[in-house]
Amino acid sequence: MSQAVKIGTRGSKLALWQALHVEDLLKKAGLETEVITIDTKGDQILDVSIAKIGSKGVFTQELEDQLLDGRIDIAVHSAKDMQSNLPEGFEIIAFTEREKENDVIVSHDKSISLKNNIVLGTSSTRRVSTLKHFYPHVKTVEVRGNLQTRIRKMEEGLCDGLLLAYAGTHRMEYDHMIVSELDLDEFTPAVGQGSVAIEVSKNLDPDLKSKITAACNHHETSLRLRAERAYLRVLEGGCSIPVFALAYFTGNQLSLKGGIVSLDGKERISIVVEGNTDQPEKLGLALADKVFAAGGKVILDQIKTTLNK
């Protein structure tokens, strides 16, 4: 019997859903598996915003430690949680097929909308800044923790609704609480939103690596995320920088829409570039050039100065 692929994951219900989804793909390809749960700094520190903890590796560091020493073979992450530049010695070898990318408002109160004076819970600077730009009358409150914890905090009266990704809401079977799906032009998602990324140490056996990629990687999703992540790398966007990008196919071309919004929401740059599907990273770099030329570099420097105070 072949040795089991050891799958490392965070312990939240959503993280376990992702790990079990990957396990299912591997089993379908005939591979033995074992799921190993690991606590990360982002899971342990819930009373401090991600921006203050430091966004680099906040949900990945502990998993990478275990990849390095061989306690796990692969680490399974939300692709949107993956930092733009991986530490030396690591690589992403697969992106699973992407779920719908939209942000959603979740609440028990079906009457709330962005037109109302409501309070929304979110831990995302991208979502906060986007609201400040398009819906400045909507207030926000910091809400962290897993999805179940956030819903409990909302039910305790902290906010009227939560601003979340459709993917996680759907995977946790809270579709009945979705009040509205938000427009992708206004709420362009975080890079990678809706896909699951598989990270490995570069030391992993090449034969095993290629089997895992063949079992789990969704080609179209991979092309889209490679373009988005190339854009993110230039902007060095961690969880605390309000940048956004979404790649999509238009005929046989790949389009990439993305930009940046200032922390106060007053300035927002959003640009679309198009290119061939065979060079997705080139598209990401082209978008970064255009966003910087349109004033994005100034906004990014201001954001970094503010966050480093």
List the catalytic residues.
Answer: 81
Instruction: For residue 148, give the nearest of 189, 201, 106 by alpha carbon.
Output: 106
What is the β-pairing status of strands 119-122 and 139-142? Answer: parallel
Transcribe 222-287 into DSSP letters: HHHHHHHHHHHHHHT--TTS-EEEEEEEETTEEEEEEEEE-TTSS-EEEEEEEEETT-HHHHHHHH
Neighbours of 227 (CB within 10 A): 31
CA distance 168 to 21: 13
Instruction: For residue 193, give the nearest of 64, 95, 76 by alpha carbon.
Output: 95
The H or E element that residue 32 is part of is none
One-letter amino acid for residue 63 of the chain: L
Q: Do the Cβ atoms of 75 and 198 come closer than 8 Å?
A: yes
Beta bridge partner(s), residue 127: none
CA distance 247 to 227: 7
Helices (H), 82-200: 125-134, 147-155, 166-171
